[in-house]
Each structure stands twice: as structure tokens, then as C-alpha cells.
Amino acid sequence: MTISNQSMSTPNSISSNTSPANPFTMTNMLKWSALGTVALALLYVVWGLYLAGEPLFAIVILALCVGVVTIFGQAKYYTARFIFPAIAAIGIFIVLPVIYTSYIGFTNFGSRNLLSFERVTGQFLRAVSVDKSTERSFKIIADGENYQIFLTDGDQTLATQSTPLDGVPHELPLSIATLPDNEPLAMRDVIKLRTELAQVT
């Protein structure tokens, strides 16, 4: 009878000593903190893509965020953690580009057509063409802190007044002149003044 009493008391003692797992352990807190940080970062990317007018890529990143939180947040998906990164990488970097490129190939959504109307209009307005018959060779000669522009028009040499090239719009009249003996600016120096020369008419 003594043996049976001891054997019967053993399960009771085991059940009484068993307590539910504490969810607030240091390991769990670190895991959920890391998952929360990753989820917030991915949601920030989703929001940025949505504001940039890329809802398709925003949905893909949102699906990635849900997959990361679900698989790495629940213990029952422990085995899937080993293959999820590979599947996600294949889907994002191989499958999605192939599908998206194939879709673009059968539409008129080229890189230029994906721009907004305002940006396309701005590109066309910035495009200029120069009449070849109006092109003239020119030289720029430094005159202290000012510059003088010399144009060749057939047998004549036309020159502007000595003026500073400071980026302020200037309307300079031309007059017949003689090319001085001073050394003109080298082409690399002329290129540096390209922005200022664009303001001279």
C-alpha cells in the first residue's frame, strides 16, 4: 500500500510543479523587438513606394513583411524559416522582374512613357536645336575680371564689349573689331563658363 500511495502521488506532484511558459523572457522580447523593427522598416518602404506611385512594388514589399512576421513570429512555422529567404529572393529578384518586364514588353509603357505629363512636357521644352547656318566660331579673351567675346563672320571679326560673365543676363551688341594678340581662353576654360555664356544674347 505504501508503494501505491507513492506512485499515485507522483503525477500530482509533477502536475503541480508544471507552470505555463513565460512569454516575457529575454529571448522572446529580443525576438519580437527585432521583428517589430524589421516590420516597421518594411512598412516605411511600402509607404514610400506608394507615395512614389509604385503600388505594385508596395504590394510586393507588404507581402514580404507579412511573410517575415508570420513565419518568424510563430513557432509552428519553424521549418519554413530555412526556405523562406530563398523563396522570397527568387520571387523578388527573378520571378517579379521577368513578369514585369514581359508585361512592359507588350504595352507602350516604356521608360519615357512612364513619366508624368508635366515631366515629359518639360523635357521637350528643354530640348533645343541649333540652325547650322547660324553657327559661328568664337573666341573668348580675358580682360582683367571681364571677358570679351569675338565672333568670326566671314572675313569680318565681330566683338562684344568687355563685360563680366557673372550669370546675370546680358544683351551685348556686336561691333566690328580686330582680334587682339592676347591668348584666348582654352576650351576647358570656356566650358567652365558655359552656364554664364548661356545668359549672354
pLDDT tens digits for range 78-133: 888 899 889 999 988 999 889 888 887 777 766 656 677 788 788 888 887 777 77
pLDDT tens digits for range 136-173: 777 888 887 888 888 777 777 878 888 887 777 878 78
Residue 127 backbone dihedrals phi, psi, to 5 degrees: -75, 130
- CATH code for the part of the protein at 2-82: 1.20.58
Domain 132-197 has CATH 1.20.120.10: no
Please list the residue range(s) of the chain that carry CATH number 1.20.58: 2-82
pTM of the model: 0.41
* Structure confidence at residue 30 (pLDDT): 83
Under a CB-based contact definition with an 8 Å cutoff, are residues 165 and 196 in contact?
Answer: yes
Q: What is the DSSP letter of 154?
A: T
Q: 144: number of CA atoms within 13 Å, CB side?
A: 4
Residue 147 backbone dihedrals phi, psi, to 5 degrees: -135, 150
Please list the residue range(s) of the chain that carry CATH number 2.40.430.10: 132-197
Residues linked to residue 176 through DSSP beta bridges, in sequence order: 158
Nearest to 71 by CA among 60, 62, 82, 61: 82
Under DSSP, is residue 22 helix (H, G, I), strand (E, B) or coil? Answer: coil
pLDDT tens digits for range 33-91: 888 888 899 899 899 988 988 888 889 889 988 888 888 888 888 888 899 889 999 98
Q: Which single residue is written with the C-alpha cell 525576438?
A: 31
